[in-house]
Amino acid sequence: MLMNGEVSALHSRIGSELFPFVWCLPFGEKSRISPSTMSRKEWKAENYYSKDFDWERLREEVETDPSLHFHLLPENTPNLNDEDSAVAWDKFHARHSTGKFFKERRYLLKEFPELASCEDNSKVLEVGCGNGSTALPILCGREGIILYACDCSSTALEKAKEIISSANSLSANARFNPFLCDFSTTGFPSWLACNTCTSRCNGIDAFNSLCPDGTKCCIGGVDFVTLIFTLSALPPDRMPKAIAQCFAVLKPGGLLLFRDYGLYDMTMLRFEPENRIGYREYLRSDGTRSYFFCLNTIRSLTTAAGFTVLELEYCCVRSVNRRKGKIMNRVWVHGKFQKPTGYLKKSEENKAKNDKERLDSYYKRNYKDYFGLLEGELKQKKELSESENDILEWLERNRDN
């Protein structure tokens, strides 16, 4: 049981399994304002906490506790009902149709200040938007942002649209663009960043999002991708593709903003042995998954996709259940990753190098059958095209090869 002083010191850090942040009010006071009906003027970002305790000390406590050793065992394959993730999440959101299960993540503008200071008309892709608990504070906190939001659950998207529409902000509603997408299996739709544009250099800054006939082929990629408590819901074998998809739709210099469950979070330690379906991976009774990340796993996933790591750390928050007088140690992974601005130049250089190697290989294979005859014909011409000059130059360089 907590002493009064301890409760007072922690009263502003309240949490529960799926409430990473809730309202901070004086003891005993109830809010008379509904978050979804707040006007733009009343909206305010909340404080952001991340260093309430040392993660290494928590790790030592967990790994020396015999009752928790099953969490450290190698991968296992229990006989559990592992239904399709999209179906499981659709059922989940249908059960929690009031939208109260997740609260607005108002701390995000403090955690990721780039969202508050970005230029007007900056494009944000919110991946796994759920009922809009991330989308709403971003739209209300920065009026110039255009936000695209996807989820694998049509039920969640309908609730998100309802919440954004009821936010007393015509601007937020106009800038909110939801769409159904299970990005870890099908990838993102081509209108975000079409295949023709991304294949030029796998970087969006290189194209003007126009087709040769002048029509618009895509929106030209996005400036930010927010991946907030989404990656942990995927099977581990889909995670590399998911991160690669985020990389592909970002403009060079764009940021992937990440927050998800961290290793030895309180919710991980609450799972029973029969809920384990893999190493650090668990299946809830409702069929939804939860993976708990260490920093090295996130670092490996993002750098393999091409990202540069700007920030990566455990976010350790000590919350208190004031009714029960229990302390709860929450662990999340905070990350900020950038698509390199030099990626475009590097890709162009690689393309030029590959084109030259392919051309040399073709010339060598066909020299005796074709280019020997062609050389005589070209030398007799008074004016040569650029490609014909290239052929003659190659012949001179490689005559003895």
pLDDT band, residue 340 (cuts 50/70/90): very high
Q: Which among 339, 71, 347 has a CA at the least distance from the CA of 197?
A: 347
| Structure confidence at residue 205 (pLDDT) | 43
Query: In the predicted model, is pLDDT for residue 11 greater than 50?
Result: no
| Structure confidence at residue 341 (pLDDT) | 85
**Residue 366 · residue 374 · CB < 8 Å:** no
| Structure confidence at residue 393 (pLDDT) | 73
Backbone angles phi, psi at 84, to 5 degrees: -55, 135
| Structure confidence at residue 229 (pLDDT) | 93
Query: In the predicted model, is pLDDT for residue 361 greater than 50?
Result: yes
pLDDT band, residue 84 (cuts 50/70/90): low
What percent of the chain shows pLDDT beyond 90? 38
Q: What is the mean pLDDT of residues 388-395?
A: 69
pTM: 0.69
pLDDT digits (tens, 9 = 90+) for 192-236: 987 666 655 444 444 445 454 445 678 889 999 999 999 999 999
pLDDT digits (tens, 9 = 90+) for 123-180: 999 999 888 888 998 998 888 999 999 998 888 888 888 888 887 777 888 999 999 9
Query: In the predicted model, is pLDDT for residue 117 greater than 70?
Result: yes
pLDDT digits (tens, 9 = 90+) for 276-294: 999 999 988 777 889 999 9
**Residue 37 in tokens:** 């009906």
**Residue 134 · residue 228 · CB < 8 Å:** yes
Query: In the predicted model, is pLDDT for residue 88 greater than 60?
Result: no
pLDDT band, residue 67 (cuts 50/70/90): very high
| Structure confidence at residue 100 (pLDDT) | 55
Strand ranges, E, within 73-191: 123-127, 146-151, 176-180
Q: Which among 191, 183, 199 has a CA at the least distance from the CA of 246?
A: 183
Q: Which among 79, 83, 87 has a CA at the least distance from the CA of 276?
A: 79
Cα 221 to Cα 250: distance, rounded to the nearest angstrom: 6
pLDDT band, residue 323 (cuts 50/70/90): confident
Domains of the chain: 55-342 (3.40.50.150), 352-398 (no CATH)
**Residue 178 · residue 129 · CB < 8 Å:** yes
Q: Which among 302, 290, 288 has a CA at the least distance from the CA of 332?
A: 290
Report the C-alpha dihedral over residues 170, 176, 178, 184, rounded to 10 degrees.
-160
